[in-house]
Amino acid sequence: MKTLIEDVTCAGCYCACDDIQVTSDGQQIQEVQTTCSQGQVWFERAAITDQLVPRILGRPVSQKEAIERAVELIQQSLAPLVTGLSQSSTDAQRAAVALADQLGATIDTGAAAVTRALQQVGEATCTLGEVRSRADLIIYWGAADLLVNANHRQSLETNSAEVSRKVIVMGEACSRETEFADEYIQVEPERELEVIWQLRALLKGVDLAGKEPVGIAESELQSLASQLKQSKYSVFFTGPEFKQGALAHRKLEALSLLIKEIQSERRCHAITVPAAKETKGAEHVLAWQTGYAAAVNFASGFPRYSPGEYQATRLLEQSEVDLCILVGGNPQAGLSEQTIKCLSNIPSIQIGPALIKDFQPHVFLPAGITGIHFPGSMYRYDGTPLPLRGFLPTVQNSEAEVLIQISKTL
């Protein structure tokens, strides 16, 4: 008998849409009412999860044997790394932090630039509900893909006549112009930091006469500064393109300082947007578990933070770890191609609902999907925690249960 399940939360990406309708026969998903391709892939994963078995170097083994081998690798390791945590529930992320603490390991996520800026200058952010109800100026900087997301646009729709809104898209090129934006401003990627400082100068009343703006047309810079001054509530959505480059954290720091200065006279916030297929949340869990949002090392018996030293990509590329524990439905999120290649040079343990393509971990421990097989929670990209429902049975354990099994066996 088919059953319609309403208001299901999709954990396939950072949007965490919570209005999905799913038709199920009690054993499998029959139909998913969503136009999002990433959501479709995430729900379709449930059909093959029960077919997965624990593996050691590709060889099928029992759950007990796989756990024992994983424990052996951990006990032989002197510098383990726990990473991934994308498309994972809050419970799984908490269990990963607890395991890293127990091992004296390093734990990091793929959101290094964002969290590094967050640790330096803080973050002034808001929820999508506030943006929908109050924002009269929305700026998508390096986040044009978010603007063309139908679910995102729908979440900001309002029938209030009091909200008269303007939408601006900023970035390297305006080739992805859509009917949903009112203005497009081209900014040279390598000059974005300077553009922010120029904006700060104009908003403080510093005269730039005689000084040609760098990275942006003078008329566009003056117009943007004027609109920021006139708006009552402005919001920046910063996307993956804005967070690229060696100075990505400096750009985010500068933007945070700009927002703080605007807030002295009017409301202004920023919301960071991860790359496609990635989710947010691990940085929140790390922050309230350890005091730091990323790049945390427990080798001294207490959490230490050093982004230059404990960032996952740097540790793997410099061969400074001898074991990698990958957790989540998208455990390679935030890792570069070079870093992923480095993973094959050390032992690895993967815990999640799907095998990584073109990669064979030393130990693979399958897990069910929180949000389909298990209840739980996750964070939307605006920092709002949302409940996840479990509506299908599974033979697999959850990621949190697998991590706890390893912890108890050590």
pLDDT in tens, 203-238: 998 877 667 788 888 889 999 999 999 999 999 999
Give the single-character DSSP code of 262: H
Domain ranges, ordered by start, for the chain: 52-110+278-373+395-409, 116-272
Confidence (pLDDT) at 175: 52
State how far the alpha carbon of 352 is from the alpha carbons of 359, 364, 382, in Å: 14, 8, 25
What CATH number was assigned to the domain covering residues 116-272? 3.40.228.10
List of long-range contacts for 343-349, beta carbons under 8 Å, 24+ apart: 343/316, 345/319, 346/316, 346/319, 346/321, 346/322, 347/73, 347/77, 347/322, 347/323, 348/323, 348/324, 349/70, 349/73, 349/74, 349/323, 349/324, 349/325
pTM: 0.90
Confidence (pLDDT) at 205: 86
Query: At residue 148, does pLDDT exceed 90?
Result: no
Comparing 52-110+278-373+395-409 with 116-272, is the CATH topology the same?
A: no
| More reliable by pLDDT, 178 or 155 | 155
Give Rg (Cα) of the chain. 22
Right CATH for 52-110+278-373+395-409 from 3.40.50.740, 1.20.1050.10, 3.30.460.80, 3.40.50.2000: 3.40.50.740
Mean pLDDT score, 36-58? 91
Confidence (pLDDT) at 212: 76
Residue 369 to residue 378: CA distance in whole angstroms: 12
For 225, the token pair is: 């500064």
**Cβ-contact 275, 266 below 8 angstroms:** no
Give the single-character DSSP code of 83: E
Confidence (pLDDT) at 199: 93
Mean pLDDT of the chain: 90
**Cβ-contact 101, 286 below 8 angstroms:** no
113 pLDDT tier (thresholds 50, 70, 90)? low
